[in-house]
Amino acid sequence: MVSLSAKETGDADPVDSGWVDEVLLGGPEDDVCLHLGAPVTRGELRKLVAGCRQDLADAGLRRGGTVALCLPPSLAFITSLLASWQVGAQASLLDHRLTAFEVDVALQRLAPQVVVTAASAGGGPLRGFSEVAGRVDRYPGKAAATSHAVIQLSSGSTGPSKVIGRDAASLIEEVKRYTLIDGIPRGGERIVSLASMVHVLGLVGGLLYSLHAGVNLTIPARTTADGILSTVAASDQPTTLLGVPFHIELLASVLEPPRLPQLTGMTTGGELVRPDVYDMFTERYGVRLGNMYGMTEAGVLATDLFGRHRPSLTPAPGITFREQDGELHFALPASPYLGEQDPRRWSDGWLHTRDAGTVDPRTGLIRVLGRRDSQVSVGGLKVDLTEVEHTLAALPEVAGVVVVCDHAIEAYLVLAEGCELPAVERQIATRLAPYKRPRRLHLVEQLPRTATGKLVRSHAALRDADPDPSPAPPAAGADGAR
């Protein structure tokens, strides 16, 4: 066991660690708090977290230290995260779908002292969770420079990813915010979560809130329609489904769903589904269908859990919105961004959401009208088209590129002289996580430009530039199923 020297522990106030036991892990020993293939009681979870804490300590993790978790949704992820916080360390969450190249870049930027990865491949496509053990390794990183408990990377609108930090107080505040929202399941009930627990909806709205409120958090083994509905049917506990808009569409398309008297509603984050899909879901299941609006930077911000105000939303308790030049801002006392600050993202106590929207001066309801930048949602995961475009543009085989999204991400490419498409496909497969990869690559002789030389990004103009509108063969391994 090697302990860190005083010099390595940095100057930041260490992350307060007492909140994990107080806010999340308290409760009766035999209370089933999680169900990932098998029930996990609070007593069992506390023991697992204690064991994990020892492993992290053996790797040298200390109060004020840093750890990066690159694990699929799993009990190993949950215990590693809670153990890291119990230690008083700062945990960075890396999506397990990132490529090795992307993970390397992220680790170099975040500089954690310890990295936890999956000891073996234990998942598969459509698995709601993986049965993997955590592998703990040292990494030549630095102690925490801030008191944030969790660090997440978000696809940035320009250049590299944004680094977003939240301290324990912010997480606790969000968990408590959930307790004040009508329609959120209460103690003794169950959440069947389809939302990724490394992202804010599944992490705080699913995992942390459930642990705090005494809600049983259940993850389906398979995220097919049959797998989801079978999981709901497997318990008599009042059950809420938590997911992303795709899951509404999937479940709404079930022609004859089973009778599910325990199902009390479904809540999703992200964009609204089409009215016909909304109607089909509520008719087929006879339960409420609600929507939440939130951001990695602060979690849940506004809700319409009973579909009463659709398409508008009520600001969550304690959240204040303003409309500034057609953009939604919300009050946030400190910038959540690490590193260089951008006043276009946060200024004077206001977080600029980059979402176009309105605030009704009479009712206070907000309406979200879509992104003002190049961020798109792929199955609930945020992808910035600029990041994809920059990655492709940086390849030596690419002379020019425009990335757009209609139904799917597509790239229009001009190849460098003497270069061929398969080389580009191989590079894409190593540099971009599957969900970020263009689903179609169109080879063009030149990209359309305006009279002043600016690249044209209209789909119609790009399609006109493509001599063969049928798609080029797919990039190797370009699938989102991993």
Residues 6+ apart with CB under 8 A from 271: 245, 377
Closest distance to another protein from the beta carbon of 434 (Å): 7
Q: What are phi and psi of 205, to 5 degrees?
A: -65, -30
Q: Which amino acid is at 48?
A: L
Which of 51/473 has CB closer to another protein? Answer: 473
Closest distance to another protein from the beta carbon of 236 (Å): 23
Which of 254/419 has CB closer to another protein? Answer: 254
- Integer Cα distance of 104 and 114 in angstroms: 14
Closest distance to another protein from the beta carbon of 478 (Å): 5
Return the exposure string of 77-99: e unless at least 16 CB atoms fall within 10 Å of the residue's CB, then b.
bbbbbbbbbbbbbbbbbbbbbbb
- Integer Cα distance of 77 and 223 in angstroms: 19
Closest distance to another protein from the beta carbon of 351 (Å): 29
Which of 46/437 has CB closer to another protein? Answer: 437
Which of 39/125 has CB closer to another protein? Answer: 125
Which of 170/223 has CB closer to another protein? Answer: 223
User: What Å distances lie between residue 160 and 105, 152, 190, 241, 387, CA to CA?
Assistant: 10, 13, 38, 34, 7
Closest distance to another protein from the beta carbon of 308 (Å): 27
Helix axes 42-58, 75-87, angle to 10 degrees: 60
- Integer Cα distance of 37 and 35 in angstroms: 6
Which of 317/471 has CB closer to another protein? Answer: 471
Which of 142/426 has CB closer to another protein? Answer: 426
Closest distance to another protein from the beta carbon of 27 (Å): 34
User: What Å distances lie between residue 197 and 41, 330, 432, CA to CA?
Assistant: 19, 24, 21
Closest distance to another protein from the beta carbon of 253 (Å): 7
Count Cβ atoms below 10 Å from residue 16 Cβ, excluding itself. 17
Which of 293/435 has CB closer to another protein? Answer: 435
Closest distance to another protein from the beta carbon of 25 (Å): 32
Which of 208/478 has CB closer to another protein? Answer: 478
Closest distance to another protein from the beta carbon of 115 (Å): 25
The tokens describing 374, both together, are 């190049």
Angle subtended at Cα 246 by Cα 132 and Cα 392, rounded to the nearest 5 degrees? 75
- Integer Cα distance of 23 and 463 in angstroms: 54
Q: Which amino acid is at 363?
A: T
What is residue 222's DSSP assignment? B
Long-range contacts of residues 131-134, Cβ cutoff 8 Å, at least 24 apart: 131/37, 131/74, 131/75, 132/71, 132/72, 132/74, 132/76, 133/76, 134/52, 134/55, 134/71, 134/76, 134/77, 134/79, 134/80
- Please give the residue ranges that form the binding site for another protein (CB under 8 A): 123-127, 223-226, 246, 249-250, 253-255, 378-379, 407-408, 434-435, 439-440, 471, 473-475, 477-482
